[in-house]
Amino acid sequence: MRIRHGRTDDHRLVRGCVFVLAAAVAWAAESYESDLNVSRPAVLAAAAPAPPRPRAGPSRLVWVLVDGLRLDASRRMPVLNRLRADGLDVVARAEFPSFSGPQFIAQASGIEPAASGVLSNSFPREVELDSVFRRAKLAGFRTAVVTTDGDDGLREVYARWIDESHLADTLERVPSADLALVHIGHPDEAAHEHGTRSPEYRAALAAVDDFVGRVVATLDPPHDTIVVSSDHGNLSAGGHGGTEPEVVKVPIVAWGAGVRPGQGRRVGWARDVGPTIASLLGVAPLCHATGRSLVGSDEPTARQRAAVCALVGGAGRRRTKHVPATILVAVGTLALLVRRTRSTRRARLTAPTYTLVFGILLVGTHTVSFSVSNLTGPFAVRVTTLCVLAGLAQLFVGGRASVAPAAFVTSLTVLAIAVVAAFQPVAPVDGTLRFVPIPALTSLAFVCLMTFAVGTPELADADGGSVGDTERAGRAGVATGLLPVHALAQCALVEPDPARADDFVDRRPGRERGYAE
């Protein structure tokens, strides 16, 4: 008769559950940012403005959106500086989060991310917000989008209102549409890969400046207009998304028909781009815009904006109120695990080591901003390295038996961090506390995976003994022939080793039958 291994099966089941938990927490870290998106923002309830007026704007408007153009870097672009001197020069602020997707929508629809509901690059569908493309189409204009990117993301956001799009364009020409958006991603790519102080970044800006000069040469100033803006800046080492000054300060430049020259330097918001373009085109006001036109506003536009602002109120001051349910599952699961395992005093006392070391490394390496997470691959490598170092410290200080208690302590810490982040404003002045749950969840996923890899301490039995204790006591009882019946059942935790079969044989004279046949 073979003896079953109930405790061994339990141990494997526990390890399997810990592995699944690690995967679930890792997914929560990956989706944390996109989970903040709001598919039906309150601003959609705004009443539609009057139908578009007859065409009264310029014959053609070209909007050049330069991805990743820092304000200070734009001051070193000769062509752009000439347009500033002869047209509109605005120092604008992009509102949190300073990712390309939310900022493009903020400018095209004239509403900040906190009120638009688009708070990440992974918004799942076409937005229902009004936009300069929609207004232009309703007024009878033809619209087009040109992008140096290899995907159609910009068009998909406003798919119904864009007539033509060109991907991975070499920027040799601009479509002859009434409203043409030209998105240039080269500066942002150079900033991410080489930093904003690199020759590559300077070369990308020089190419943009040359392109702007070629576009201007094709325009008729009394009838055509060009608007140049940036969605965000970049850190010196590359990266954006946070609230650092070099990331959120962006330029807006307008020149041509409808732009009064010699206005000097002005201050505005990135969301002012959409209302400004709508005003230059002479179409009805944007239905959902909280931004204002930088070239003057009429009475209907002012009334519409006032109504929208009253509707959304202080959207940026609302709390996120988002705590991933996976964290609560992790706390409960790890609490049960620790309760069912035997741990030494050393293991309990050193359990916070992983969390403390990871936190110190996170702050010490300046990995506490959305801006450093903008490139997923390098960020994942960076945070994983911190997790590995913290894990090695945990093993060195507390040993293998301390890993499960460390995972439980980490889960409590992550829960506290998530709760604090849930009460942060949607548009914080400093986005650090909004960001910390992402690396915190990553660290929790890693320590759960580490618990799975190194195994859990011996499961305690009902009397407080462990699997190993019961097995050793069982072997001693068998050897002396004094093993009680109930202990016999408990000793059957690990399949008998054939090499040690003599341990299970009654050695009294005349008896050769073992306990297991």
pLDDT at residue 505 tops 80 = no
* SS3 call for 59: coil
Can you tell me the mean pLDDT for 127-136?
Answer: 94
pLDDT at residue 379 tops 50 = yes
pLDDT at residue 466 tops 50 = no
Q: What confidence score (pLDDT) does residue 458 get?
A: 58
Mean pLDDT of the chain: 84
Can you tell me the mean pLDDT for 304-323?
Answer: 87
In the block, tokens 């536009």 appear at: 301
Can you tell me the mean pLDDT for 347-358?
Answer: 95
- φ, ψ of residue 137 to 5 degrees: the values are -65, -40
31: closest CA among 397, 335, 372, 437?
437
- Cβ atoms of 36 and 322 within 8 Å: the answer is yes
In the block, tokens 């810490």 appear at: 413
pLDDT tens, position by position, 474-502: 444 444 444 443 443 344 334 444 444 44
pTM of the model: 0.82
Helix (H) or strand (E) holding 268: strand 265-269
In the block, tokens 């969840």 appear at: 441
Burial class (CB in 10 A: 0-12, 13-18, 19+), 451: buried
pLDDT tens, position by position, 89-125: 999 999 999 999 999 999 999 999 999 989 888 876 7
pLDDT tens, position by position, 74-90: 999 999 999 999 999 99
Using left for φ > 0, alpha for ψ between -120 and 50, and beta otherwise, residue 239 falls in: left
Residues pairing with 226 in the sheet? 62, 255
pLDDT at residue 34 tops 80 = yes
pLDDT at residue 41 tops 90 = no
Half-sphere exposure of 72 (CA within 13 A, CB side): 9
Residues pairing with 180 in the sheet? 62, 144
Can you tell me the mean pLDDT for 36-47?
Answer: 86
Q: What confidence score (pLDDT) does residue 146 get?
A: 93
Burial class (CB in 10 A: 0-12, 13-18, 19+), 274: buried
Q: What confidence score (pLDDT) does residue 383 get?
A: 94
Instruction: DSSP letter for 143, please.
Output: E
Residues pairing with 269 in the sheet? 93
- Cβ atoms of 116 and 109 within 8 Å: the answer is yes
- Cβ atoms of 95 and 89 within 8 Å: the answer is no
Can you tell me the mean pLDDT for 252-256?
Answer: 96
